[in-house]
């Protein structure tokens, strides 16, 4: 029996999209094949569960049909439906045993009948269906970048253990030099037809040819490395260009960088979720960088200069006479670049006046004199 997708991710059926996403990241990190103790089979199941539960339409169908939901394709699977969906048929008056004459239903495959009625084997071009079903799966990974890399952009490398195109046959699935022949099963149509008789009448079932998988043609000899699949499991290193100004939580997509498709079908996509590490001094607000500097009471009153740190290096900031605690100074064009190249934000420095907790008698006397002068 197939594992429950919610149990695979460790969430309840009522989990929010955000909870599902967080659970997927945890589970994917734990079972990733690259990690010590990783489990490739478990990782693939977790990825399959996330592909369904992260899509509202697929999740709704999965919640409705449960384990009869067929891989997110929106159709019934080949197994038992537990009675769901057939409430309108009353079979109590039929004898499924020896009925004699034209009423003999021996050998009838009722599973085939109902898969035909409910869309299990009909509709569309089987040649097209064969190619679509071979498309490679999408992959999602997380990367962490520093605050400086967020501001300046970066190139990062990730290592993926995935289905990749077979180098021996270049993804075709055929042994190099092997000729192509018309499929003997479907005679080049990519489809096979089956007529089924039942008490409901005769049904014509059209399905993808299992021999050539809907292609209509096949190689005389399968690839000796991938055994005709066009893909092999291997580790690949992919370089990612992280643009300057990207925000934490945003995703970069690389088309065709996911898992390779079967027999030359389109590859899946790679989605990179970017996380920006917390900086010890700087925070981000839109395109502005925020920081805080402390100054003494005397500097606030008399003015002066302080050295400050910016993302571009150290600068000298002039403090005017009478600066108040909480006052903010702006350093132009020292913030975060716009992701689309439309300018850059500023660096905002908030001043905090440091009031001493303990003062000497002399300091107290001077403050009293200053107080009297102010009055």
- Alpha-carbon span 203 to 205, nearest angstrom: 6
From CA 48, how far away is CA 331, in angstroms rounded?
49
What is the structure's pLDDT at 71? 46
Whether 136 contacts 258, CB under 8 Å = yes
Q: What is the DSSP letter of 187?
A: T
Helix (H) or strand (E) holding 58: helix 56-65
- Residue 308 has a pLDDT of 95
Backbone φ and ψ of 198, nearest 5°: -155, 175
Q: What is the pTM of this model?
A: 0.57
33/161 Cα distance (integer angstroms) = 7
| DSSP one-letter string for 141-168 | EEEEE-HHHHHH-EEEEEEEEEEEE-TT
Q: Give the Cα separation of 218 and 178 in Å (integer).
A: 10
Rounded to whole angstroms, the Cα distance separating 147 from 248 reads 10
Q: What are phi and psi of 114, to 5 degrees?
A: -75, -30
Q: Judge whether 75 and 41 are in contact, CB under 8 Å.
A: no
Q: Locate tokens 């088309």: which residue?
A: 255
Spans in the chain with pLDDT lower than 50: 71-132
Residues in the chain, overall count: 375
**Angstrom distances, CA of residue 78 to CA of 68, 111, 123, 129, 285:** 8, 7, 17, 18, 53
Return the C-alpha torsion angle 210, 212, 216, 222, nearest 10. Answer: -170
Cα(28)–Cα(54) distance, integer angstroms: 14
How many angstroms separate the CA atoms of 110 and 41, rounded?
Answer: 33
**Alpha carbons 182 and 189: distance in angstroms, whole number:** 9
Q: How far apart are CA 260 and CA 268, in angstroms?
A: 6
Give me the pLDDT at residue 297, please: 86
Q: Give CA–CA dist 334/317, Å, rounded.
A: 13
Give the C-alpha separation, 222 to 241, whole Å.
38
CA 139 – CA 202 distance, rounded (Å): 44
d(CA 350, CA 306): 13
Domains and CATH numbers, the chain: 1-75 (1.10.287.110), 283-374 (2.60.260.20)
């Amino acid at each position: 029996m197939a594992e429950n997708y919610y149990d695979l991710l460790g969430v309840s059926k009522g989990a929010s999209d955000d909870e599902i996403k967080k659970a997927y990241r945890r589970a994917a990190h734990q079972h990733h094949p690259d990690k010590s103790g990783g489990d490739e089979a478990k990782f693939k199941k977790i990825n399959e569960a996330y592909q369904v539960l992260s899509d509202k339409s697929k999740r709704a169908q999965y919640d409705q049909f449960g384990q009869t939901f067929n891989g997110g394709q929106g159709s019934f699977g080949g197994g038992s439906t537990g009675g769901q969906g057939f409430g309108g048929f009353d079979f109590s008056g039929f004898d499924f045993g020896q009925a004699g004459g034209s009423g003999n239903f021996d050998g009838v495959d009722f599973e085939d009948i109902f898969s035909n009625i409910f869309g299990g084997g009909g509709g569309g071009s089987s040649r097209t269906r064969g190619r679509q079903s071979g498309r490679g799966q999408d992959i999602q990974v997380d990367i962490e970048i520093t605050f400086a890399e967020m501001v300046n952009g970066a190139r990062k490398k990730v290592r993926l253990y995935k289905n990749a195109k077979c180098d021996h046959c270049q993804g075709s699935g055929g042994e190099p030099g092997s000729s192509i022949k018309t499929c003997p099963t479907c005679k080049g149509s990519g489809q096979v037809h089956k007529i089924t008789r039942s008490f409901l009448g005769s049904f014509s079932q059209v399905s993808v040819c299992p021999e050539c998988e809907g292609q209509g043609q096949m190689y005389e000899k399968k690839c000796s490395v991938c055994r005709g699949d066009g893909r092999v499991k291997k580790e690949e290193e992919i370089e990612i260009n992280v643009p300057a100004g990207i925000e934490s939580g945003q995703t970069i997509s690389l088309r065709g960088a996911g898992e390779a498709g079967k027999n030359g079908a389109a590859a899946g996509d790679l989605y990179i979720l970017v996380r920006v590490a917390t900086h010890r001094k700087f925070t981000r607000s839109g395109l502005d960088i925020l920081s805080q500097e402390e100054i003494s009471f005397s500097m606030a009153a008399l003015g002066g200069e302080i050295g400050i740190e910016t993302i571009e290096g150290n600068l000298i900031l002039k403090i005017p006479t009478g600066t108040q605690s909480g006052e903010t100074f702006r350093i132009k064009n020292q913030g975060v670049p716009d992701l689309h190249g439309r300018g850059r934000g500023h660096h905002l420095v908030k001043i905090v006046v440091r009031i001493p907790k303990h003062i000497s008698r002399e300091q107290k006397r001077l403050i009293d004199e200053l107080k009297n002068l102010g009055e």
